[in-house]
Amino acid sequence: MRYAMQVQYIGKNYAGSQIQLKDGVEIELPTIQGELEKAISTLISGDTANNNRRFKTVFSGRTDRGVNSLGQTVHFDIDKPIVASKFVYQLNEILPKDISVSNLRLVDSQFHAQKSARCRHYRYIFVNRKCKNAFDGDLMRVKFDINIERMQKALNYLIGEHDFSSFKSSGTLNPSTVCNIELAECKKTGDKVIIDIAGNRFLYNMVRAIVGTLLEIEGHNLPAEHMKQVLDACDRTKAGQTVSPYGLTLIEVTYN
């Protein structure tokens, strides 16, 4: 039997979502997957040994150190039925306070959290204010004035299917650099700027590089068309810096 669930987490205390390997051996770093598999194993089999994870999980995609999630989709297989409400409650009692699960459901055996995904929606939030505030938390603070209309015009150039090599960090493992972006919007609420980007797939650090390019446009008072020039160049050196992971959240993963 295959079950899928949504996982929420605050990524600040973890080295990314996925367990990391070196020469086929797991690196002892705190990860969302490691904590989740340990908790599932403890709940189902009573196994509390950190290195004996019987119940492997598959994530819809990898998120980096510091990135949060409201809707990470995860599937796992088990040979007996689960009472969803009881399982979710007990699992949340075991998990660390910065990880939670919801919406556990039985899915078809052909369902795959990563391969079956149609669209992934990310949101980046930063503060646009000169002075700091104690409640800003880990959000990036941008001191210069933001022209939200120009930012939106720049984002519009990303809509559709393009080669996003200019926004690809060196750690990208998949050689394919073509992505189809369905949504690219920004708005300002008070002193917070919210950027929503959704597409079929994303390259390593792609959203953070896009935000960095937007800030380069704003910081140097460049025309919005600069975004298209960067996109067409297919050259990472033409884009802005990769901004802080704090403020980036995986909002939702949708399936056909």
Which residues, other chains included, contact 86 with Cβ-Cβ below 8 Å and sequence gap of 6+? none
Known active-site residue 64: yes
Return the closest-CA partner of residue 16 out of 256, 254, 255, 250: 250
The DSSP H or E segment spanning 25 is: strand 25-26
Question: Helix, strand, or coil here: 241?
Answer: coil
Sign of CA dihedral 234, 240, 241, 243: negative
Question: Helix, strand, or coil here: 227?
Answer: helix
Q: Where are the beta strands (DSSP E) in 51-116?
A: 57-59, 68-77, 99-107
Catalytic residue among 47, 64, 138, 235: 64
CB 33 within 8 A of CB 53: no
Active site residues: 64
